[in-house]
Each structure stands twice: as structure tokens, then as C-alpha cells.
Amino acid sequence: MGRPKELTEEERQKLISEGLRPVEVWMPEIWSDEIWEQAYRDCDLIRSSEEQADVNLWVEEAARETMRLIEEMEENGL
């Protein structure tokens, strides 16, 4: 696939003037067997965690509170 085409100096300055800045991001190779094995191990750890029940309760409560706030905003015309 290779690197994306380089920007001209004009294109670069236009993006910078719009408040953007260049960054380079390195990502793990998601197609390697090692990454998938680690992902499966991590998922097993999460699934078996005793704290998972507490996390689920917190997420459910946060979702309920978020929905309540959205409904309240809609009722107030916001």
C-alpha cells in the first residue's frame, strides 16, 4: 500500500491555517497472529474478571443517566 502522497507546501499551509496539524500514527500490525492471540487472552481476562459485574452496573447506570439527561434536554427544547 505504501505511504500516502506527500502534500504540496500550499496544501500543507492551507490545512495548518484551518487549525490542523500533521501527525504520524504507528498502529500495531492487526493481521499478525501475535496480536490476535493477545486480544483473545485479554478478552478472556476481562470476561473472567470479578470486577466485571461492577463495571457492567456502572455502565448501565451511566447509560440510564445519559438517556435521562437527553430526554430532559429534549423536553426543554435544547
Q: How many CA atoms lie within 13 A of 6 on its CB side?
A: 2
pLDDT in tens, 3-62: 667 889 999 999 999 999 988 888 878 888 888 899 899 988 877 777 777 888 888 999
Cα angle value 32/34/35 (rounded, 5°): 70
Task: Give the DSSP letter of residue 2.
Answer: -
Q: Where are the domains of the chain?
A: 9-75
Closest CA to 20 of 12, 9, 28: 12
- Cβ 52 vs Cβ 46: under 8 Å: yes
Residue of 51 and 2 predicted with greater confidence? 51
How far, in Å, CA of 15 to CA of 10, rounded? 9
